[in-house]
Structure 1
Amino acid sequence: MTAWKKGRNFLIVLGACYLGFLACLLQPAIQTNVFYLHRIRWSTRDLLYPEKYGFDGKRARSLFIEESIHAWHIAPLVRTTDNAANMMNKDQQLIIYLHGTAGTIAFPHRLTSYRIFTALPNMHVLAIDYRGFGLSQGTPSESGLIEDGIAAVEWAIREGFSKENIILYGQSLGSAVAIGVAHELATRSVQPFEIGKVVTVAAFESGNEIIKTYRLGGVIPILEPLRTYPVVQRWFIGKLKHPWDSLARVQDLAAKTKISLTFGHAITDYEIPKEHSERLFQSAVDASLLVDGIAATATTKKTEDGGFERRFGNRFLYRSVYWGGHNQVQWDDKLLEDIQQMNGAE
């Protein structure tokens, strides 16, 4: 067999495998597993014991919200004889940490984020595993993950945190959850209220848009090979069960609420391009202008790392940074300074 025929046969087999993969994705159960990757857990053995991950048992505790959603509450890193439950009051800040796809609250880069955040003055972290992740019961879905985030907010308020001092912090998939939670709380018909702040890192404008270019692990493309067949691509996207339309929700939040929104993204993020966060920021600005008119000034400043800081009044911020890729961008000093300013610390 000639090299040309071998190459042709290889491409035929590769194409057949890809079409088979797409056919599998049309099955709702498989689609859910691929979208959320919630079955990639490594181990759940020690999730009930945050001290086994290096946290002082006095400031970190494992708990279940509404008996089904597993979470860790980690108090600020201070010398104290109090336990975490006794270190809460209405004047302290709380980050509700909403993580991305795959794994659990104990993934290494997430652990590092908790440590950095709780080193800020008076900053608590509540990290949750959504339904189907880690020790949490159920199967993930868009509405289900938003319900889990709302349950976390309601737990925090019951425990004494004021809603003004709660920061909904979402990374990757968690950004869509954070936006969805803030939107649902602000627009629901029964007892609506506005959360203090929303911070997203490595956000995407919608599930339908990100699937066009998303690469699993930054390597394996899902729908990008179909970009030369736009009709087929649109048909396939129409079959997706997890739209996560953050763009529409951000526009609604900007037009109907006073919630502040921060969008952070790394230029070096090869899983979700920074343009997604740029479009979310711009949609917030445009929606606000339509309602309020020219009530604030948009400013753009280039930063020393080659990124950009774009502000619209004191309400909307987009920050692109060079370092960090998809996960470690959370630890960039500029983004941490933004959170520190929310905390009222200098």
Structure 2
Amino acid sequence: MSTSSTAAHSGGIMDKLHKFAFASSALYAVIIMLLAMPFVQRHALFQNAIRIPWGARFDMPEKYGLAPGKTMDFKLITPDNLTIGAWFVLSDPYYQEHRASVFEQPTLEDVHKALKSYPTVLYCHGAAATRAAPTRIQAYSAITSRLKANVFTVDYRGFGDSEGIPSAEGVIEDAKTAWRWLMEQGVKADEVVIVGHSLGTAIATGLATALAEENIKPRGVALLAPFTSLLALIETTTIQGIPILQPLQSFAFGKRLLQWLLVPSFDTLAIIGEINVPILIAHSQADMDIPHYHSRTLLDTLLDPHLPAAQALPDSPSIVPSDGEYRTYLEVQKERRTLRSQLVRKIEVPTFGTIEEFDGSAGKVVYVETFWGNHNEVGLQEGVQDLIASTFRLGTHL
């Protein structure tokens, strides 16, 4: 090939690369602009338009695997006058004793009797789908049978057969509406465990901290596959393993822009310390949707008040700490590690995962990190269910 041909060939390749780079940059800019739109953000976060199962018959829970006559389907009215769909699933021991041969939808009287007989789990589900989604049905079945508890769950506004448009404040208000309904049925706060999964962990935390402000104490709070904050989760979001927002975070203005563009807050890390009851956090190392280090960070935040105050080093590379500052930093870190090992009781289960617990200011804090299970499966593992039962004294008659 002649020199001129080689040059032309090289020029053609460079021209294509330039066009590709321009097109990629333009596409990236379009993605960022779309993410800046509240409408797009809302659908990306809540995914409530994904109504699995499609065309669900919520008045027929048996269609999705629940036993005949075990679930009451009804509606709640929120303070802002929206109608949201709800299910109350009877505890399996109560159902087997009182309802197994009737095969009709439970009445409110049945619900009252079940509430007086067994503890209740207020279940806050995650993004996408509805309360009739297959993995959620599995969760209800496990809670009602293995944990011997009733289950009360709602579809947040804009989900399932519920009216309205979801928002961070709105979905937490829906959880508060569910809590108030339980209290109106004569349930005591310490007979209810709040369980959240994925996005539902932020909703459960919002509900629990709102109750703590009124000094109301449920039996406990379980967070399954939680995230520290929506911003932290979005910053690490990947598509096919590619961190799409990494370029935007490589400079200070990009980070500030991302914070400014993000409409919903959902900052569990900032408020989890306000929960005034025992807490269980469970996460799988195999979770590909929300990395398990989010849960470990939440655990460290709950533990931090019980340790000596951390000694910070200068965060600027241009500032070099003195020998005294560095020695103090190392001594404090050593003291924190020593006290942590004394406070935290740790059990390694070779075929299951790691269990850590300590006595927090508001009760026991339990952290379980499993080896197995994807994002939707961590709460379905019997080992995790047993820890929920022992932590919150479930599995027994009231």
Q: CA RMSD in A?
A: 2.6
* Count of equivalent residues: 336
Moved more, 301-310 or 244-253: 301-310
Is 1:224 aligned to residue 246 of structure 2?
A: yes
1:41-52 matches, cutoff 5 A = 41-42=51-52, 43-52=54-63
Of 253, 272, 278, 1:260 maps to 278
Of 168, 175, 193, 2:201 maps to 175
Change (3 A) 1:100 1:89: closer
Moved more, 25-34 or 202-211: 25-34
TM-score w.r.t. length of structure 2: 0.77
How far 1:30 moved relative to its partner?
Answer: 1.7
Of structures 1 and 2, the larger Rg is shown by: 2
1:139-178 matches, cutoff 5 A = 139-178=165-204
Q: SS state of the match for residue 131, structure 2?
A: coil
Is 1:72 aligned to residue 122 of structure 2?
A: no
Percent of aligned pairs sharing the same letter: 27
How far 1:90 moved relative to its partner?
Answer: 3.1
Q: Who is 2:34 aligned against?
A: 24
2:62 maps to amino acid: E
Is 1:242 aligned to residue 288 of structure 2?
A: no
Q: Who is 1:197 aligned against?
A: 220
C-alpha separation between the residues in 1 aligned to 2:273 and 2:351? 30
- Does structure 2 retain, via aligned residues, the 8 Å contact 1:60–1:84? no
Is 1:308 aligned to residue 354 of structure 2?
A: yes
1:73 maps to amino acid: F
- Does structure 1 retain, via aligned residues, the 8 Å contact 2:56–2:132? no
- Does structure 1 retain, via aligned residues, the 8 Å contact 2:124–2:195? yes
| Unmatched runs of 5 consecutive residues or more in structure 1 | none
C-alpha separation between the residues in 2 aligned to 1:337 and 1:121? 8
Cα shift readout 1:115-139 (whole Å, capped 9, x = no counterpart): 1111125311112111111111111
Higher relative CO (CA 8 A, sep ≥ 6), structure 1 or 2?
Answer: 2
C-alpha separation between the residues in 1 aligned to 2:379 and 2:306? 27
- Does structure 1 retain, via aligned residues, the 8 Å contact 2:148–2:394? no
How far 1:283 moved relative to its partner?
Answer: 1.0
Q: Which runs of 4+ in 1 moved over 4 A?
A: 1-8, 218-222
Q: SS state of the match for residue 301, structure 1?
A: strand
C-alpha separation between the residues in 1 aligned to 2:155 and 2:306? 33
Is 1:282 aligned to residue 308 of structure 2?
A: no
C-alpha separation between the residues in 2 aligned to 1:302 and 1:7? 52
C-alpha separation between the residues in 2 aligned to 1:321 and 1:100? 20
Moved more, 306-315 or 68-77: 306-315
Change (3 A) 1:307 1:26: same
Q: Who is 2:3 aligned against?
A: none
Cα shift readout 1:68-93 (whole Å, capped 9, x = no counterpart): 12111111224244336414233411
Moved more, 4-13 or 124-133: 4-13
How far 1:237 moved relative to its partner?
Answer: 2.1
C-alpha separation between the residues in 1 aligned to 2:14 and 2:119? 64
Change (3 A) 1:7 1:128: farther
